[in-house]
Structure 1
Amino acid sequence: MVEGYSVAVRTLCEFTAKAGDLDLRFTPSPSALEGMAGHAVVASRRSADYEREIALSEEVGQLRVRGRADGYDPGRNQLEEVKTFRGDLERMPANHRALHWAQAKVYGALLCRERKLSEIRLALVYFDVVTQREHLLSELHEADSLEVFFLDQCQRFLAWAGQEREHRQARDEALGELRFPYPTFRSGQRVLAETVYKAASTGRCLMAQAPTGIGKTLGTLFPLLKAMPGQGLDRVFFLAAKTPGRQLALQGLSTLTAPQPDQTGVPLRVLELTARDKACEHPDKACHGDSCPLASGFYDRLPEARQAAIECGTLDRTELRDVALAHGICPYYLGQEMARWSDVVIGDYHYYFDVHAMLYALTVANQWRVGVLVDEAHNLVERARGMYTAQLDQAAVKAVSREAPSALNKALTRVDRQWRVLNGEQAGQDADATPSRDNGYRVLAEPPTKLLTALQQAVAAITDYLAEQPDGLDGALQTFYFEAMQLCRIAETFGSHSLCDLSLRSGRRGSRLSTLCLRNVVPAGFLAPRFEASHSSVLFSATFSPELYYRDLLGLPAQSVWMETPSPFSSEQVTLKIIDHVSTRYADRATSLEPITELIARQYTALPGNYLVFLSSFEYLDQVAERFQARYPEIPCWQQARRMDEAARQGFLERFTAQGQGIGFAVLGGAFGEGIDLPGDRLIGAFIATLGLPQLNPVNEQFRQRLAAQFGAGYEYAYLYPGLQKVIQAAGRVIRTEQDRGVITLIDDRFAQPRIRRLLPGWWSAVPSSR
């Protein structure tokens, strides 16, 4: 039984003291490192008996309020709330200042209670990270008045807290009685579910390789929900790489929580987080009350909208939008608010793993116990690398310099000058090398200090300019500003996990331009704190081996457990063909077109139906598809196009009907290589005309070298494992159920190599290869 409700001081005050408009006009703010440094500077200026980070807590009825006050000077009897900022303090919105005072007053009340103080001086210390100056606002308060204020905030929150406590109790009781929604588990699904439950019960991380088609989504959600009451879990985060994964999670939760013949439904709050650009109702307007009607009075209307939202149970994208618009507020930011009050949150990887990850930040700030499910976890390596990579093009500097306000000319000119010096230094290292001969690619031992210093100064100059004229940036300058800021921040973390490179190219009139990139090679160091913050994490995929590859690159805890679920499928279900007389290497593609065309035609003639053909690139796809359609115009064909939107992708999939016949051409590793379900006769075969290896280029070669240096497996980690992962995922589209039958044709002589065969799914090994 849930005995009380615990809330952080910040959360309490944000709930009770926020009012007025949503105002997201860009105002420059310190980075996290600048904020921590600012707090340290303020503390260093205080007396020797100054107390820092004072842990405080108090119970009011069944509400426990907890937090850490920034500092207390016992000699002056002054409690300080420190806030770092940039720019003009007078421009700070009034509701922000009100929130800061509310936090200070609550901390003051807690300290007075703890130390039996009759009065205390409260101070808001605003520290300018640029000038290093402090702006202090202070007020003397009697303990009795602070007590009244504190109790008022608690009373305003207690009704909500009581509702939350009752919901938690009802939720946990229902989850304790939760039964699997079907009479039996699929083959392999029970083993997966039992192992997930054990991992949650022991607070460990689980790496689960389970074949496509056994119901991994339900097989992981069910046991983790079942474990929530016993483990005291506050939230479950289901993180997916793509939209289909999120949809499967919503469907699975709907099935799990639906009423049973002898049971009522489970009162589970489910939230789907949607990207801002997809949720925005007024993309032509700015996010503040003077521009967008859904931002005006946002916090005034939020309480009723929040109450309506929790009564919905499941807030998918459509339901969340309906609730928000019914109350005249922004759907996207209602979703951000509801992440605090939902039991299961479904969203993209970046909500927990990115440098600015909202769910991770909430977990740490609120000390939540969370269970994390990572769907199709093989994608996390590349996605995480992207999260901790930054680049900037010199052409952007030149473009914004021409249109920038005069106040920024000096700083931008300095950046351009340092960039030209860097280009000259790199080009001069090899007088004979030209961009046309060496592709202009240079690897730098470390980030260029002088250029980065100039960029930091430019960021500071733009920040100062924004402080005076917050609406003064055009789109290009704002983009440059954010990209430069990101590059500078990533540079602060540069190390053996990173690669710094410069790509030179010819500009106008013989000049040189370049792109500077700080690439993440091994994201383990960034992801490890995310896994440590969770009570239990379960990463699952049909292609999650070799185990050591993922352990090394993802930073998983040392005690993580790896398991492989036996496949429910048998060798009798699939005809495996390995075509070892055709090479799909880049140099051999021209000669491969004819044999690939004939292979597809022969198979289709022998067994008409729906097939997918996977190629390594759009260029290769176009060549094979054109040759095939010219030779066999009577066979229906359709192909994946570059930059297809969701409607176009859906149209592609709708061509695969149970009674249909034809050939769909797609790119390996693209939208149709994983995460799609075409059971039965909707798809009876796949041709994979590539080993899937990443392109051989200077960047990937640098990845190979660095991975070899760190792990002794450069080729495998940079090329082989990522490539075969895509092949197995694509082939997994064919056999989706234990009733399916199909043909998998692997076209490349390298598939016949023993070391490649050993990396293919175990249940394929019993299939005699036909050539």
Structure 2
Amino acid sequence: MNPRYTVAVRELCEFAAKQGDLDLRFTPAPSALEGMAGHALVAARRGPGYQTELSLQGDHGALRVRGRADGYDPARQRLEEVKTHKGRLDRQPPSHRQLHWAQAKVYGWLLCRQQDLAALDIALVYLDIGSQQETVFTERCSAGELRQHFEQQCERFLAWAEQQLAHRGARDAALQALAFPFDGFRAGQRPLAEAVYKAANAGRCLLAQAPTGIGKTLGTLFPLLKAAPGAKLDKLFFLAAKTSGRQLALDALERLAVGPLRVLELVARDKACEHPDKACHGESCPLARGFYDRLPAARAAALAPSAERLVLHRARVRDVALQHDVCPYYLSQELARWADVVVGDYNYYFDLGALLHGLAQANLWRVGLLVDEAHNLVERGRRMYSAELRPDTLAEARRSVTAQTVPALKKALDKLRRCWAALDRDQSLPYQVHAAFPAPLRAALQLACATIGEHDAEHPQTQDAALRAFHFEALQLLRLAELLDTHSLLDVTRPPAGAGAHRAAPSTLCIRNLVPAPFLAPRLAAAHTSTLFSATLQPRLYYADLLGLPADHAVIDVASPFQPGQLRVEIARHISTRYRHRAASLDPIVALIAREFEARPGNYLAFFSSYDYLEQVADRLAARHPQLPSWRQSRRMPEAERQRFLARFTDTGQGIGFAVLGGAFSEGIDLPGRRLIGAFLSTLGLPQVNPVNEQIRARMQAMFGAGDDYTYLYPGLQKVVQAAGRVIRTPDDRGVVHLIDDRYARREVQALLPAWWMLTPSQRLPAKTYPFG
């Protein structure tokens, strides 16, 4: 039989050989860089004929198994599976060792078959990253024994592979026959869909700017699904910055109603965990105990077609998981291997340890990416590749019961505090950037992490929240310290001394990513095709530079379906919202809001640069015009309050909703028709001038020659356009946008506003030089 299903060695063994408990005790594994360095060290210790990264493959019935073996010594006829680790090896769960042997023996048979060997030494090589010492377990196996093991693993997987083949055939046939779910495309939706389809077939990256209200979610999902069979795509990943974006994608996929299509929603661990007070291992959590023994039945139940289509929402995954007594969060991670479309947050693909990217690389999947509201990826990318260690986190860890009762922990944490204090003593400025991570502090941080890891391994039942929080922050910082380069900086911030204090408080350490492109570019390159889309991707070069788009990426700027007559744009040239003019701006802004509302009663959003500014204007409006209804966004507004805020915007409602620019109500909300007829933007949205942003400006100038633009102007105007885009959502909408600041009249600012707004020459002032303070 010709092989028709290809599976990676690791995937095969994880499916067929994993047994027992889910065991994720907090014993941190080496980082990717440490792992690569460890493999290189092992190879360097071997003889001159030692071979690394051997590409191997073999067939069993309809199954083709392939992978890369870590190392082979032809002189000794020994194949090695190399694993790096931290901490004592005798604490390794038996199920981990069992999986490693299964992988090594599969590679062993593939090598015997390729080189016609009668027998082979199979070795598990465990390298301790800290001591650099090897522990080697060796087993002599005949080719017959290895073949029997290989066939056993394949037989366990083969029935599943046959189901997958049947599913893939039915899926592709359904996608080829897929029809657009409406009578026709909206204006602008067809050119967007055509561009996505062409990019998928050509295997290219597409940057797509398309106006709000044309249906970008369906306009990108539909063509990528249509292209999947011809482009031989294994998976589609729809990545969103916010819950609202994920829900729009799930709704669109429900609308498309592709019967055989498996759609999975991934949610954060804290939203899916049934026992947040327990650790992820069988001795603590009942849903981890025997997880891999019950997983096959849970997996089969989750993926069994039960209706015309299968959408694995969070609630459905939870129901199946609890029916089979397995963890919902880790069941969803297992189901990601078998879903056709996965809908989740950006971090599931772009984060350093991203699940979806890791699975795609391990299984050589051909992936299509859709990145929703891609303008958010700049700041989200910066946050993903940044880490911070706060003094209060260390202080709480030192005060914890565990640290106070375990001498080794107390000693390690005290040493770290002394090194940190020494760094503070040498720093006279409140904010300082360091060219490299201070060596004594880094060594103390590594020692503290290793000591905590050892203690956690010895006491798996211990649940010390303060120690765990510190450990997590410290590990993140150390991980990014390995990758520190011109794309990021290490800064130390000391708050000023309080009243009566003799010295400033302890500092905060931060590795701050400024340019996410070096991290994002390999992820985009790993996908067969990717489309990054948003209503605000202007100027293109800014996003290409900061997101790491490939040099040959395609671009489409979809013309707006809206007419200039739908939106009246007014510039309040007589008002300055600069910080130094803020007090003087309150009365003119209140008068403008009241005048517009009196002329055209209805629902409006008023955006401000800060909560303080918002409160000042809202209070002044309430005092001067008490008859005018208003409601306000609050700091850290809970989800229920956000829903009540939006519920005030009805077709018959009237009033002013006060919100912060860049917050929850600036994008991702849809208030068509009379639900929203206007917006006031009392800011340009420019980031504050502060030491951090000035460091970003200097780096942007050095790397791209556009320090002020890349740091202040472009990010600010992007938020403005997003917020203003809430007003006109359909071809029937009519509304007004008031741009409140004299700087909106400048040509260089108006060049970044949507062309269809058609501002008149009388609203412009001559261009001026930056900055815009």
Q: TM-score, normalised by structure 2?
A: 0.95
Matched, 1:412 2:420: no
1:471 Cα deviation after fit: 4.2
- Asked if structure 2 preserves the Cα contact closer than 8 Å seen for 1:28 and 1:466, the reply is no
1:525 Cα deviation after fit: 0.6
1:563 Cα deviation after fit: 1.5
1:512 and 1:294 map into 2 onto residues whose CA distance is 44
Q: What is aligned with 2:54?
A: 54
1:378 and 1:49 map into 2 onto residues whose CA distance is 50
- Asked if structure 1 preserves the Cα contact closer than 8 Å seen for 2:264 and 2:335, the reply is yes
2:131 and 2:759 map into 1 onto residues whose CA distance is 71
2:763 and 2:705 map into 1 onto residues whose CA distance is 35
1:281 and 1:648 map into 2 onto residues whose CA distance is 25
1:472 Cα deviation after fit: 4.6
1:767 Cα deviation after fit: 6.4
Q: Deviations over 1:449-504 (max 9, x none)?
A: 33223222322333333343344562222221221221122122222212222111
Q: What is aligned with 1:191?
A: 191
SS at match of 1:510: coil
- Asked if structure 2 preserves the Cα contact closer than 8 Å seen for 1:351 and 1:358, the reply is yes
2:762 and 2:218 map into 1 onto residues whose CA distance is 34
SS at match of 2:432: strand
Q: What is aligned with 2:740?
A: 747
2:763 and 2:35 map into 1 onto residues whose CA distance is 64
Matched, 1:76 2:76: yes
Q: Which of these residues, 484, 492, 511, is aligned with residue 494 of structure 1?
A: 484
- Asked if structure 1 preserves the Cα contact closer than 8 Å seen for 2:83 and 2:127, the reply is yes
1:420 Cα deviation after fit: 2.1
1:349 Cα deviation after fit: 0.5
Number of aligned pairs? 752
- Asked if structure 2 preserves the Cα contact closer than 8 Å seen for 1:27 and 1:470, the reply is no
Please list every run of 5 or more consecutive structure 1 residues that lacks an aligned counterpart in the other structure. Answer: 259-264, 428-432, 434-439
1:608 and 1:770 map into 2 onto residues whose CA distance is 25
SS at match of 2:549: coil
Q: What is aligned with 1:327?
A: 324
- Is the deviation greater in 587-596 or in 630-639? 630-639
Q: Which of these residues, 608, 611, 616, is aligned with residue 618 of structure 1?
A: 611
Matched, 1:479 2:469: yes
Q: How does 1:215-294 map to 2 (within 5 A)?
A: 215-256=215-256, 258=257, 265-294=258-287
Taking a change above 3 Å as real, the CA distance of residues 685 and 233 of structure 1, as seen in their structure-2 partners, is same
Q: What is aligned with 1:458?
A: 448
Matched, 1:318 2:318: no
- Is the deviation greater in 144-153 or in 228-237? 144-153
2:272 and 2:455 map into 1 onto residues whose CA distance is 31
Q: What is aligned with 1:28?
A: 28
SS at match of 2:155: helix
- Asked if structure 2 preserves the Cα contact closer than 8 Å seen for 1:576 and 1:770, the reply is no
2:82 and 2:437 map into 1 onto residues whose CA distance is 33
- Asked if structure 2 preserves the Cα contact closer than 8 Å seen for 1:576 and 1:768, the reply is no
1:766 Cα deviation after fit: 5.3
SS at match of 2:418: helix
Q: How does 1:281-680 map to 2 (within 5 A)?
A: 281-312=274-305, 313-403=310-400, 404=403, 405-427=406-428, 440-472=430-462, 474-505=464-495, 506=497, 509-510=502-503, 512-680=505-673
2:272 and 2:230 map into 1 onto residues whose CA distance is 36
SS at match of 2:737: strand
Q: Deviations over 1:150-189 (max 9, x none)?
A: 1111111011101101111111111112121111111111
1:445 and 1:31 map into 2 onto residues whose CA distance is 22
SS at match of 1:513: coil
1:294 and 1:626 map into 2 onto residues whose CA distance is 52
Q: Deviations over 1:262-320 (max 9, x none)?
A: xxx44111011001111112222222222222222211111111111112521011111
1:513 Cα deviation after fit: 1.5
SS at match of 2:83: strand
1:605 Cα deviation after fit: 1.3
Q: What is aligned with 1:436?
A: none
1:711 Cα deviation after fit: 1.0
* Amino acid paired to 1:202: A
Q: Percent identity?
A: 62
1:756 and 1:562 map into 2 onto residues whose CA distance is 22
1:279 and 1:249 map into 2 onto residues whose CA distance is 20
Q: Which of these residues, 680, 686, 705, is aligned with residue 687 of structure 1?
A: 680
1:770 Cα deviation after fit: 8.0
- Asked if structure 1 preserves the Cα contact closer than 8 Å seen for 2:745 and 2:763, the reply is no
Q: Deviations over 1:431-459 (max 9, x none)?
A: xx6xxxxxx12222333233223222322
Q: Deviations over 1:681-712 (max 9, x none)?
A: 11111111111111121111111111111111
- Asked if structure 1 preserves the Cα contact closer than 8 Å seen for 2:50 and 2:71, the reply is yes
Matched, 1:758 2:758: no
Taking a change above 3 Å as real, the CA distance of residues 769 and 60 of structure 1, as seen in their structure-2 partners, is farther
Q: Deviations over 1:641-660 (max 9, x none)?
A: 11122222112111111121
CA RMSD, 1 decimal: 1.8
